[in-house]
Amino acid sequence: MPKKLYRGNGKLLLFGEYAVLDGGKALALPTKLGQTLEIKPHRGSDLIWESYDVNNELWFEAQVSLYDFSSIRTSDDKTSKFIQKLLKGAVRYNTEFLNNWNGFKVINRLEFSRHWGLGSSSTVIANMAQWADVNPFHLHFYVSNGSGYDIACAGAEGPLTYQLLDDQLSYEEIDFTPGCTDQLYFVYLGKKQNSGEAIIHYTQQAKKRKALAKKISEVTEAALVCKNLSSLREAMDEHENIISTELNLSKIKDTSFSDFNGSVKSLGAWGGDFCMVASDMSKTEVRAYFKGKGLDTVIDYKEMSYEDNVIAQQQLAV
C-alpha cells in the first residue's frame, strides 16, 4: 500500500460563538494553517500513532490494537482515548475500514502551535474521516459535543456561514469582503481554553438560549453585509455586549485592553485562544500596542485566512 496523505484547515469562529449550538447563525473562517495526516503500512497488526507539533517535535505517540482498539502503550491517556474513540467511530460508519487488521503507521503534523486553539482536534477528525471514507460530521458528533463548524472549515476554501437547525446542519461558503480586512487582526492571548468546559458554562448560564441564538443570528447577518470598518466594529461590539450580558462574562476589552483605540472581540471559548481586533491604527501601531501588553502573536486577517487550496496541493504533492 502506498502512503496516503490527507489535510484539513484550521478554524476561527468570527461571529456566533456559544449561540451556534442552539441554531445561531455563525460566520467562520478556515485558516491557512492546518494539519496533515499521513498513512503508511506498518508490520504487524497494530496501529502506531505519532503526532508532531509545528516544530516537528513529537508530542504524542501511541500503539493501538486493531483487534479491539485497546491501548497497548501511550504517552498520554486522555489523547489515546480520543484516538481510540475516533477509530471506533470510523469503523461504526464504515464497517470495511481496517477490517483486514493490517498494521498502519499514522503521522500527524501540525502547521500551527498546538496551544493556539485553531483546531488540532477537528483537523484530526476531518482527516480521519477522509481516510476512513466516512461523513466527517457523523464522526465529529460521535466523538464531540461541539457544533461542527470546525469540521466544515477543515474542507472549505473560504469563509462560510454555519447553522444547526432542527438536528440538521447547514453551511455555505461565502464571499466575506467587509472592505476593511487590512484593518483586522487576530491576537493570541497566550492561553488555550477548554471548549468542553466553556460549553458547560454556556448551558448553565444562558436562560433563554433560543432567544440568544436569534439575537446573535441578527448580529451575524449584519456583519455579513458590512462594507467598512465602522459597521464591522459596531457588529463586533454588539456581539460582545450580548454574550457578556447573557452569560455573565467580562468583555476582553474591558478587562485587558480598555485603552485600545479600536474594537476587540473574543473568539470561541471566551478568555483564551485568539481575539479579533479591528482598528484604523496602522499595523505598526497595533502590533506595538499588543507587544506592550506582552502579546507578540498578532496576525493579519489576510495572513490567517485560507483563500485557496495552493497550500493543500503543495502538501499533498510531497
CATH number at residue 130: 3.30.230.10
Asked if residue 295 and residue 282 are part of one domain, the reply reads yes
The least confident of 57-66, 88-97, 162-171 is 162-171
Average pLDDT score over residue span 216-226: 97
Are 27 and 176 spatial neighbours (Cβ–Cβ below 8 Å)? yes
Instruction: Give the span between the Cα atoms of 295 and 283, in whole angstroms.
Output: 14
Contact yes or no for 221/231 (Cβ under 8 A)? no
Per-residue pLDDT at 218: 98
Distance (Å) of CA 172 to CA 149, 161, 294: 11, 5, 37
Amino acid occupying residue 5: L
* Parent domain of 158: 4-174+307-316
Q: Are 137 and 223 within one domain?
A: no
15 and 61 in a common domain: yes
The pLDDT > 90 percentage for the chain reads: 76
* Domain shared by 61 and 189, yes or no: no
CA distances from 63 to 45, 126, 157, 187 (A): 10, 21, 34, 37
Report whether pLDDT(307) > 70.
no
Closest CA relative to residue 6, chosen from 48, 34, 41: 34
CB 31 within 8 A of CB 305: yes
Whether 80 and 29 share a structural domain: yes
29 and 58 co-located in one domain: yes
Q: What is the model's pTM?
A: 0.91
Residue whose entry in the numeric block shows the C-alpha cell 448580529: 219
Task: Tell me the per-residue pLDDT of 106-122, one tens digit each, with 9 for 90 and over.
Answer: 999 999 998 898 999 99
208 secondary structure, DSSP code: S
**pLDDT tens readout for residues 175-219:** 998 889 999 999 999 876 667 677 777 767 767 888 999 999 999
Mark whether 158 and 186 lie in a shared domain: no
Domain count, the chain: 2
Amino acid letter, 301: Y
Residues 42 and 134 in one domain: yes
Residue 178: what pLDDT?
A: 87
- Do 190 and 155 belong to one domain? no
Do residues 225 and 104 both lie within one domain? no
* Mean pLDDT of the 241-251 span: 90
Burial class from Cβ neighbours inside 10 Å (0-12, 13-18, 19+) for residue 115 reads: middle
